[in-house]
Structure 1
Amino acid sequence: MISEFFVLSSRGDKIIYRNLKKEIKHNSPEILFRKLKFSETDCPPIFNEDGINYVFVNLKEIYFCCTSISNISSSFVLELIYRMIEIIKDYCQDINEQILRKNNLLIYELVDELIDYGLPQQTVSLQLDKFICSTPIQKQDLQKSLKKISKKTKEKIKNKKPTLLITFGETQCVEIKKDGEIIRNEVMGKITMDNQVKESTDLTIEFKPFLLGKDVQNKYRYTDTMIEDILINIPCNSNNLQKPSPYVYIPRLPFGHYTFMNYRTSGSKIIKPFLFSINVATFTKNKIDLVVTLKSTYLKKFFGPVTVEIPTPEDALSVSSTLSDNVGQKVVFNSKKRKIIWNFEKLNGGRDETLEAGIILRSGIENLKKVRSQLGPLSLTYNLPKFSLSGFDISRVSSSNMKRFPNIIRNLNIFSRSNSYIVHF
């Protein structure tokens, strides 16, 4: 299945390399590095070169890659790579080149336990402990060797409490027609847990009321939130999810970092955090005037970053731009990608922000229909803290063993983002 696993630095050095099936004779790390650094376009995370399938993840300019000559599921391999990264984080607390090099032997042990002759095996940190002999060198240990630690820092490390961090993240995909009709409005959510308490404990997670499934008759019986699909990835009792007060009971909470739940929802009830008004006009033979107005329906005073990208025609030579407010925002024209990029470091919710752009064309607009078809669509990326687009949320987290484990800190981190917010014009 998986032929090789390797980790490359930003300079192309092999930090980790394991040839699992010894069936690839090419220098795969060098091929990947050349593809990353010398390709004219951005290298896709999944590609085929000389009959070899490459699947890689870029984390802080460190590249985790699996190769295979088999036609295997790319999403499966990506999930495996992400699980391997999280397991390394469980042992080493952080990932950077220095930590990976210092823990070289430990990581080789983990790879050998995670993948056996190309086949994925155990991917739960707590169950790997009994097979791992090396002691991890963590970030704080590296700092000790570089400089002396103050008394306050020593006390912090000594008194550091084990934590249970729950991260609740949603990713929105939106596509809107020129006339404002919504083609797609979908949210894919993921709840991840980072449990640093090795002692066994149970956990009860209570959710705000929602309806599970596609029962149209009872769709809004007791809530406006409709979840279409739910996938729970760890053993638990989920029989009470469809009750008016839904909850999940986990009898034994796994140790480490892992995805607890994936879910999906779609429809008109999902919030659209941004609205656009777009006007295109032609005033001269070689100039197109574009006016874009953005309004945030997310009413927090300041948030960001937010990026708006507008593809321009192939003949675009330059772009002159004017902003309604220059504070916390800027516009650049990327001539290589042929895009107008409108960046907000901080955006004030509830206000209208306007961009006026004059696009100068090299060869004029004799073929206006062709030039107009190459303009747009507008795409938006954003990150909204402490906000749930779907309305799906956790109301309470509890455990019967909290008295036995008083040092557990329960943190809940909520955010929403989008890398696919498309507006046609």
Structure 2
Amino acid sequence: MISQFFILSSKGDPLIYKDFRGDSGGRDVAELFYRKLTGLPGGESPVVMVTTVVGVQGLRTVEYHGDRHFIHIRHSGLYLVATTLENVSPFSLLELLSRLATLLGDYCGSLNEGTISRNVALVYELLDEVLDYGYVQTTSTEMLRNFIQTEAVVSKPFSLFDLSSVGLFGAETQQNKVAPSSAASRPVLSS
């Protein structure tokens, strides 16, 4: 069903890459997808088909990518992409990618580039349980809870109170290093 699954950042950097069948052209498939995607006019289509010729042009060899279909969704600035050489319903793969985005959000918290890079081991473990040789096994969060052993690295939410000890140009202040005194409770004028 699926040949590869990868997650790209909004700049096209591969964050996750999993090859299920070994029929790909390697990791350059992600680069090929991003070039095709950025070459699309205006609105992007969720399904992109690439046909590359096999042979030698001049002194360089052209890589074979076959009739590869790239099905993708964009979620929080990330591209979740599945590739296939088979004739598969694009809507089933779009549903799978949407469910994977939800599943990653359930396990990692918010789904963004930083969360994915902090939880690479967890993402690969989830992919191993959800997809076996490119075929979907289960996408239920409750069912996967019994099989997933890796704990998520959760980032703490941003708070303005964290900035209270940061001074000018990021230098620490003496605010938390000063011993408390009773000066605030003493009267200003002595009688």
TM-score strictly above 0.5 = yes
Equivalenced residues, count: 147
Secondary structure in 2 matching 1:52: strand
Partner of 2:81: 65
**Counterpart Cα distance in 2 of 1:9 and 1:15:** 7
Secondary structure in 1 matching 2:146: helix
From the superposition, tell whether residues 22 and 75 of structure 1 become closer, same or farther in structure 2 (CA, over 3 Å): same
**How big is the shift at 1:6?**
0.2
Task: Supply the AA of the counterpart residue of 2:74.
Answer: N
**Counterpart Cα distance in 2 of 1:52 and 1:38:** 17
Task: Supply the AA of the counterpart residue of 2:18.
Answer: R
Secondary structure in 1 matching 2:99: helix
**How big is the shift at 1:148?**
7.7
**How big is the shift at 1:59?**
1.1
Percent identity between the two aligned chains: 31
**How big is the shift at 1:92?**
1.5
Secondary structure in 2 matching 1:77: helix
Partner of 1:123: 139
Partner of 1:13: 13
Once the two structures are superposed, the pairs formed by residues 39-58 of structure 1 within 5 Å of their partners are: 39-50=40-51, 51-58=67-74
RMSD: 2.1
Contact 2:75 2:101 in 1 (8 A): no
Partner of 1:99: 115
Q: Deviations over 1:107-147 (max 9, x none)?
A: 0000010000010001111111121111111232x759xx4
Contact 1:35 1:43 in 2 (8 A): no
Q: Deviations over 1:355-394 (max 9, x none)?
A: xxxxxxxxxxxxxxxxxxxxxxxxxxxxxxxxxxxxxxxx
**Counterpart Cα distance in 1 of 2:129 and 2:163:** 36
Partner of 2:103: 87
Task: Supply the AA of the counterpart residue of 1:38.
Answer: G
Greater fraction helix: 2
Q: Deviations over 1:33-60 (max 9, x none)?
A: 1122233443311121020011000112
Unpaired segments of 5 or more residues in structure 1? Answer: 150-425
Unpaired segments of 5 or more residues in structure 2? Answer: 52-66, 165-191
Partner of 1:3: 3
Greater fraction strand: 1
Secondary structure in 2 matching 1:139: coil
* Bigger relative contact order, structure 1 or 2 (CA pairs below 8 A, ≥6 apart): 2
Secondary structure in 1 matching 2:114: helix
Task: Supply the AA of the counterpart residue of 1:52.
Answer: R
TM-score, with normalisation over the residues of structure 2? 0.71
**Counterpart Cα distance in 2 of 1:59 and 1:139:** 19
Partner of 1:36: 37
